[in-house]
């Protein structure tokens, strides 16, 4: 649905050119919810604006629904933008227009007649549960309600793609959840392709199918959310995850020295990550029974990524060195991810 | 106060109001588009054309830097061309209009710049043309602020119209100078000042109320 290839974006800055995006390529499949996560200033805002050419890449190509966006004339680009909805961190609603008129705005741009507009706007307001607020002004609404207006407005021209620019960053956690649910709902009901940029891992975890991590204008990691979550490669990705899930260490072990060599009487720390059905297997009890090791569960949590159950556990294995080796070998055979951290006293 | 004062005052008030109203309407008709032009042709504007922008801005600054009394006299040939005479109330309307156009242009520019860029960006993302952005985003969003700014221009016009006496334009200022100052009739001076104060208060009050009614940002 969306293919960005080798996007470069440089700005003329005060001290020479500033590169905002470096050789960024990504593909978003039809009907997918694709998240881009990065710190502020990493280039994610520029990246999402390259999709509808609010920012024109310095080089590279942008294909949306088969259209080569960079090759379009101004008029063609305006038409193409009508099939790409966008919502914003600060909502960007017209303060001088009612909720109804804000949602009708894109339709009036297209010169639709008022009866047809009414027939479209009313069901949209119902979809976002704002039918009773049609004649209010944005200043009379809460942040979550404003974003609902933004969503209804973005959907009015029946887009195929919805771009979400930090759409929940200005909202409190409960409202964020409700807005994310709405986006997910729309994605499923209308088959809309959604691109979300955010600095909150929660957003990625709750609704995205795929994720790309952007650092200093470069995509450093990408893939299915479940894979990136369970097996992050980059330090920054790990940090994003640990902000959300905790470090995975109990407080008393957080600063403990970790040795690569066995310590007499010490424990081997092993992190297990369970995904999907393997979360239900009796791995630990088998381990203890078969291999004569002690397995202390030092830390554990279970969560879900979109709909997939996902758990993390920190085990402290102790026992005869051979038994510990065998136990590790057993764990490696299982359908779970294991990370050997080292020995602690 | 002698009975001749009231008709004098009424006549002068009528002249002042006529000068201000006509100049205001004409100057708004030109000044608002000028303000829009200053914003949209600026670097990064929806119709960016920095070269044109610089020229227009330079002309605006040039006209604004001429003191009104000098402008009034300097453009006498132009005034005669437009209204067929260079003296009287009608003639005074021409320089008043001309002086107000760049003033309004700058005031409107300021109002439009207060419209958050996010709104322009949202409209662009929805496929709006530059004209649609001007008509459906910039102007409605800035309307309340423009009304407040135009109120200031009206009040400035009341002040400038006092100088219209120099070309026989009449009005309250002229009355105060000729009767109050030159003929030593302080009661006329005082009465004129009172009427002027009342007029300015009324304009400011009306402008504020309208601006407030149009502002939907704080409800």
Do B104 and B17 contact (CB within 8 A), yes or no?
A: no
Answer yes or no: do B121 and A94 touch at CB < 8 A: no
Please report, for residues A169, A188, A267, A299, A327, the alpha-carbon distance to residue A293 in angstroms, rounded to integers and kept in the order given.
47, 47, 10, 18, 7
DSSP E strand boundaries for B124-206: none
Dihedral pair phi/psi, residue A304, rounded to 5°: -135, 145
| Identity of the residue in A84, A109, A139 whose CB atom sits nearest the CB atom of B132 | A109
Give first-to-last CA distance, chain A, whole Å: 53
Task: Check whether A46 has a pLDDT greater than 80.
Answer: yes
Q: Which residues of A111-148 are buried (b: 16+ CB within 10 A; e: fewer)?
A: ebeeeebeebbeebbebbebeebeebbbeebebbbbbb
Domains and CATH numbers, chain B: 5-214 (1.10.3720.10)
pLDDT at A280 over 90: no
User: A103 phi and psi, to 5 degrees?
Assistant: -70, -30
Residue B168 neighbours by CB under 8 Å, 6+ apart: B87, B88, B91
pLDDT value, residue B170? 86
State residue A281's pLDDT score: 62
Q: How many angstroms from the chain centroid is the CA of residue A257? A: 34
Contacts of B214 in chain A (CB under 8 A): 96
Asked whether the predicted pLDDT for residue A5 surpasses 80, the reply is: yes
Do the beta carbons of residue A36 and residue A84 sit within 8 Å? no
Residues in chain A within 8 Å Cβ distance of B217: 95, 139
What residues contact A339, with CB distance under 8 A and at least 6 apart? A270, A271, A273
Task: Note whether A109 contacts B214, CB cutoff 8 Å.
Answer: no
What's the confidence (pLDDT) of residue B64?
93
Task: Please provide the DSSP assignment of B124-139 as one string.
Answer: HHTT--HHHHIIIIIH
- Please give the average per-residue pLDDT across A8-21, as a whole number: 86
Q: Are A129 and A158 in contact (CB under 8 A)?
A: no
DSSP of A225-287:
HHHHHHS--SHHHHHHHHHHH--SS-GGGTT---BSS--TT-EEEEEEEEEGGGGGS-HHHHH
Q: Side by side, which strands form the sheet with A218-224?
A: A84-88, A161-165, A193-198, A33-37, A210-215, A218-224
Provide the residue ranges of all domains of chain A, joining segments of one domain with +: 2-244, 251-344
Q: Which residue has the tokens 């300015």?
A: B200
Chain B positions touching A92 (Cβ under 8 A) are 116, 118-119, 121-122
Concatenated DSSP letters for A315-328? EEEES-HHHHHHHH
Q: Is B44 on the interface with A (CB under 8 A)?
A: no
CA–CA distances in Å: residue A173 to residues A35, A144, A169, A180, A310: 18, 10, 9, 10, 21
Report ipTM (2 d.p.): 0.87
The structure's pTM equals: 0.86
Could you read off the pLDDT of A307-336 as tens digits, one per residue?
788 888 888 888 888 888 888 888 888 777
- Residue B210 near chain A (CB below 8 Å): no
pLDDT single digits (tens) A107-156 = 999 999 999 999 999 999 999 999 999 999 999 999 999 999 999 999 99
User: Which chain A residue has its CA at the smallest distance from B138's CA?
Assistant: A94
Which A residues in the span 36-55 are in contact with B, Cβ-Cβ below 8 Å?
52, 54
Give the chain B residue whose CA is nearest to the CA of A155. Answer: B126
Q: Is B119 on the interface with A (CB under 8 A)?
A: yes
Query: What is the overall mean pLDDT for chain A?
Result: 89
Tell me the average pLDDT across A64-83. Answer: 94
Neighbouring C-beta atoms of residue A16, cutoff 10 Å: 7
What pLDDT is stored for residue B8 in this prediction? 87
Q: Once rounded to an integer, what is the mean pLDDT over residues A95-110?
A: 96
Q: How far apart are CA B6 and CA B19, in angstroms?
A: 20
Please report the pLDDT score of residue A277 as a whole number.
67
Contact B140 A109 (CB under 8 A): no
Question: Is the distance from CB of A42 to CB of A197 less than 8 angstroms?
Answer: no
CA distance B43 to B50: 6
Cα atoms in the 13 Å half-sphere on the side-chain side of A337: 16
DSSP code of residue B56: H
A157–chain B Cβ distance below 8 A for any pair:
yes
Interface test with B, best of A46, A82, A85, A96 (most B CBs within 10 A): A96
Q: Measured between CB atoms, which of B119, B127, B136 is closest to A92?
A: B119
Better-scored residue on pLDDT, A290 or A281: A290
**Each residue's pLDDT tens digit, A193-249:** 999 999 988 899 899 999 999 999 999 999 999 888 878 888 888 888 877 777 777
B58-94 per-position pLDDT tens digit: 999 999 999 998 999 999 999 999 999 988 899 999 9
Which CATH code is given to the segment(s) A251-344? 3.30.70.260
The CA–CA distances, whole Å, from A255 to A157, A177, A260, A318 equal 55, 34, 16, 20
Measured CA to CA, the distance from residue B125 to residue A84 in angstroms comes to 8
3-state DSSP helix/strand/coil percent for chain B, to nearest 5?
80, 0, 20
Cα–Cα dist B133/B127, whole Å: 10
- Would you call A35 an interface residue with chain B, using a CB distance cutoff of 8 Å? no
Separation of CA A154 from chain center: 20
In whole angstroms, how large is the CA radius of gyration of chain A?
24
Q: Does B218 touch chain A (CB under 8 A)?
A: yes
What φ, ψ does residue A172 adopt, rounded to 5°?
A: -75, 165
CATH 3.40.50.300 is the classification of domain A2-244 = yes
Residues A62 and A97: beta-carbon distance below 8 Å: no
Q: What confidence score (pLDDT) does residue A279 get?
A: 55
Question: Tens digit of pLDDT per residue, chain B (219 long)?
Answer: 567 788 889 999 999 999 999 999 999 999 999 999 999 999 989 999 999 999 999 999 999 999 998 999 999 999 999 999 988 899 999 999 999 999 999 999 999 999 999 999 999 999 999 999 999 999 999 999 999 999 999 999 998 988 887 788 888 888 888 888 888 888 888 889 999 999 999 999 999 999 999 998 876
Q: How do beta strands A161-165 and A84-88 pair?
A: parallel
């Amino acid at each position: 649905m969306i293919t960005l290839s080798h996007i470069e974006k440089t700005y003329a800055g005060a001290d020479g050119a500033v590169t905002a995006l470096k050789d960024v390529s990504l593909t978003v499949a039809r009907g997918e919810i694709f998240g881009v996560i990065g710190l502020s200033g990493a280039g994610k805002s520029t990246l999402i604006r390259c999709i509808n050419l609010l920012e024109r890449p310095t080089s590279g190509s942008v294909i949306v629904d088969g259209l080569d966006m960079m090759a379009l004339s101004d008029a063609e680009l305006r038409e193409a933008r009508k099939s790409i909805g966008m919502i914003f961190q600060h909502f960007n609603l017209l303060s001088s227009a009612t909720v109804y008129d804000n949602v009708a705005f894109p339709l009036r741009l297209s010169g639709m007649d008022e009866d047809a507009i009414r027939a479209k706007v009313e069901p949209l307001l119902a979809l976002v549960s704002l039918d009773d607020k049609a004649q209010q002004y944005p200043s009379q609404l809460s942040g979550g309600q404003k974003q609902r207006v933004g969503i209804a407005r973005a959907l009015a021209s029946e887009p195929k793609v919805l771009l979400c620019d930090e759409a929940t960053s200005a909202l409190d956690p409960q409202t964020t959840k409700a807005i994310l649910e709405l986006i997910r709902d729309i994605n499923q009901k209308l088959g809309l392709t959604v691109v979300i940029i955010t600095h909150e891992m929660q957003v990625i975890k709750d609704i995205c199918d795929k994720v790309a991590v952007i650092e200093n204008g470069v995509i450093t990691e990408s893939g299915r959310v479940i894979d990136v979550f369970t097996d992050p490669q980059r330090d920054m990705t790990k940090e994003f995850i640990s902000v959300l899930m905790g470090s995975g260490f109990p407080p008393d072990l957080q600063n403990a020295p970790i040795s690569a060599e066995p310590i007499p009487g010490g424990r081997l720390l092993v992190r297990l990550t369970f995904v999907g059905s393997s979360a239900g297997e009796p791995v630990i009890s088998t381990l203890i029974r078969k291999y004569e090791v002690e397995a202390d569960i030092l830390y554990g949590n279970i969560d879900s990524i979109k709909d997939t159950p996902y758990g993390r556990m920190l085990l402290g294995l102790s026992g005869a060195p051979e038994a510990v080796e065998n136990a590790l070998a057993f764990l490696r055979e299982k359908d779970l991810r294991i990370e050997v951290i080292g020995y602690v006293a | 106060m002698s009975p001749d004062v009231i008709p004098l005052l009424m006549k002068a008030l009528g002249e002042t109001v006529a000068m201000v109203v006509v100049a205001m309407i004409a100057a708004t008709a030109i000044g608002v588009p000028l303000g829009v032009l200053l914003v949209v042709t600026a670097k990064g504007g929806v119709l960016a054309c920095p070269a044109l922008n610089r020229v227009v801005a330079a002309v605006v600054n040039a006209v604004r830097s001429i003191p009104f009394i000098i402008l009034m006299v300097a453009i006498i040939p132009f005034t005669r061309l437009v209204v067929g005479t260079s003296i009287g109330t009608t003639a005074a309307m021409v320089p008043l209009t001309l002086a107000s156009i760049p003033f309004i242009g700058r005031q409107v520019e300021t109002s439009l710049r207060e419209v958050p860029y996010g709104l322009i960006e949202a409209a662009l993302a929805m496929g709006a043309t530059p004209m649609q952005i001007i008509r459906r985003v910039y102007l409605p969003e800035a309307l309340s602020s423009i009304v407040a700014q135009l109120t200031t221009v009206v009040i400035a016009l009341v002040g400038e119209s006092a100088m219209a006496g120099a070309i026989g334009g009449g009005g309250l200022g002229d009355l105060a100078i000729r009767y109050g100052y030159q003929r030593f009739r302080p009661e006329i001076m005082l009465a004129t000042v009172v009427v002027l104060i009342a007029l300015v208060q009324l304009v400011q009050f009306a402008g504020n109320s309208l601006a407030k009614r149009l502002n939907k940002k704080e409800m």
